[in-house]
Structure 1
Amino acid sequence: MRPGVAAARGSTGAAGEERALTSVAAGERYEEPAELPRLWHVTLSVSGEEAPLGEVRRALEQLAHDHPFLLTSRYAVDHAEIRYWEEARDLHDAAAVALRLWGEHRRTSRLPPWEIVGLEVIDRETYHQRIAEGYGPRPASPVGVHPF
């Protein structure tokens, strides 16, 4: 048998069947995967027909309760904006999660039947660079659900 390879007999296969198990040979080093998750700042904008302001607030509070990763939500009778940090491998993954958020939680949080009208996904470095230069979104303070 070659170095770094062991045989396991009769594990889940047929009787007498051998299965090769690979292990790291002595002296080899473990390397981190090339693409580790990164943080992405997401701003999701939704709008639609008017809904009672109290119901919009309650729905956004429920969404924030169910998903505490939400930083802040701003709302009016016909639109809302949700901002949060998403951990994802790349922008495509972060955007895909963001685009599903409203629809997947519409029923459980009783969100208005609004459509997504805007999405911005930027990496952490870009977010902090914008803040430092004074033209990015203000930091989410106070955190929570607030009217526009």
Structure 2
Amino acid sequence: MWEAGRYAGRRRRLVRRVLTSVPGGGADENDSRLWHVTLSVSGKPVPLGEVRRALEQLAHDHPFLLTSRYADDHAEIRYWEEARDLHDAAAVALRLWGEHRSTAKLPPWEIVGLEVIDRATYHQRVAEGYGPPPAHPVGVHPY
């Protein structure tokens, strides 16, 4: 499973830049942890081809995205975020859709759900069979 892998340096620089913009931010990279993020968005229906193209562009621009599922009126994005704490991981996640709406030509949907859990909780849930299933296959897929 991908968990920081080859994009770790890029993610650390991004997280460090974001954290220094948050009051009280600027965590030492050694203090950062991995958080599993699930971001849910929805809104008025958009042609499926446009949704897929937009999510693929977002994944291309930000290769830390693990997987996306979509329909014509909603989508779910799952990925690992490296951050000092849950607050920082959630802040980055809540900005993701809005900040990249124009560059990736994302639908004008709103965020309707956010789950941020630490790595241990994610793996515990999966092992017990009640958590989000492992994100396979990686990529952008219809529901």
Please give the TM-score of this superposition, normalised by the length of structure 2: 0.79
Give how far 1:140 is off: 0.7
From 108, 124, 133, the counterpart of 1:129: 124
Q: Greater Rg, structure 1 or structure 2?
A: 1
Gaps of 5+ in 1: 1-32
Aligned partner of 2:51 in structure 1 is 56
What is the aligned partner in structure 2 of residue 16 from structure 1?
none
SS in 1 for 2:103: coil
For 2:65, the equivalent position in structure 1 comes to: 70
Confirm or deny that 1:84 pairs with 2:70.
no
2-side partners of 1:113 and 1:72: how far apart?
20
Over residues 98-128 of structure 1, what are the superposed CA-to-partner deviations in whole Å (9 max), with x where a residue is unaligned? 0000000000000000000000000000000
Aligned equivalents of 2:64 and 2:133: distance in 1? 18
1:121-146 CA-partner distances (Å, limit 9, x unpaired) = 00000000000100010101000000
1:78-117 alignment runs, 5 A limit? 78-117=73-112
What is the RMSD of the two structures over their aligned residues, measured on CA atoms? 0.9
The Cα of 1:72 is off from its aligned counterpart by: 0.2
- 1:144 alignment counterpart: 139
What is the one-letter code of the residue matched to 1:70?
L
What is the CA distance between 1:78 and its match in structure 2?
0.1
Pick the structure with more strand per residue.
1
Choose between structure 1 and 2: higher helix proportion.
2
* 1:83, distance to aligned residue in structure 2 (A): 0.0
Structure 2 portions without partners, runs of 5+: 1-27
User: Which structure 1 residue ranges, 4+ long, deviate > 3 Å from structure 2?
Assistant: none
Is 2:36 the partner of 1:41? yes
Structure having greater relative contact order (Cα 8 Å, sep ≥ 6): 2
Amino acid at match of 1:79: H
Q: Distance in 1 between matches of 2:80 and 2:37?
A: 6
Letter aligned with residue 69 of structure 1:
F
Counterpart Cα distance in 2 of 1:140 and 1:68? 15
Cα distance between partner residues in 2 of 1:97 and 1:123: 15
